[in-house]
Amino acid sequence: MEQQTIKFIIAQDGSVKEEVIASTSSECVEITKSIEEKLGSLETRQFKPEFYQVQKNVAFQHNKNQNQEQT
């Protein structure tokens, strides 16, 4: 398993942006949950392509298995 890194960017107005590097699927949400709770309210969340790619693979595998069961 690759080590995850969290990158923080703190703007002059005090807003904080975080980026999780080297995570897949919903790992990023789990990794940052406690940090976000301590920082305050979350305004927006943007997922990187890696989040969706893993979700598509899981969905594809699930559908593939369903098709095999039906035949």
pLDDT, position 48: 83
- Both tokens of 59, joined, read 């969905």
Query: For residues 41 and 16, is the Cβ–Cβ distance under 8 A?
Result: no
- Both tokens of 9, joined, read 């960017």
Count structural domains, the chain.
1
* pLDDT, the chain, mean: 76
Q: How confident is the model at residue 12 (pLDDT cuts 50, 70, 90)?
A: very high
Determine the structural domain holding residue 57 and report its residue range. Answer: 5-70
> Is the predicted pLDDT of residue 46 greater than 60, yes or no?
yes
Task: Give the E-state strand segments of 1-71 in sequence order.
Answer: 5-10, 16-21
pLDDT, position 7: 92
Cα-atom radius of gyration of the chain, to the nearest Å? 17
pLDDT, position 61: 57
pLDDT, position 42: 83
pLDDT, position 13: 92
